[in-house]
Amino acid sequence: MERQINDIRDLIQEIAWHFGDHEFNGERCGGLTFVEFMALKKIDESEYLSIQEVGRALNFTKSGATRLV
């Protein structure tokens, strides 16, 4: 059941990304991937967020988050 919930969540996020307006603070972000957008969103929502915390929020390793950011 948990796997199905995770699959549904991922599909909803993908649908939202494809049909969303790709804006970040009122500015267009058409060239960003969904993961890049989510990383920027997490960073924007926090006063201070380390690379490791960005990775944790996105279920990435610190190394993966460093490459992304």
pLDDT 10s digits, 48-67: 888 888 788 777 776 776 77
**Residue carrying the six token digits 């989510």:** 38
Q: What is the pLDDT of residue 57?
A: 77
Q: What is the pLDDT of residue 30?
A: 62
| DSSP conformation class of 47 | S
pLDDT for residue 22 is more than 80: no
Look up residue 5 and give its amino acid: I
Q: What pTM value is reported for the model?
A: 0.51
**Residue carrying the six token digits 């058409």:** 30
- Neighbouring CB atoms inside 10 A of 33's CB total 11
Helices (H), 20-69: 34-45, 51-57, 62-68
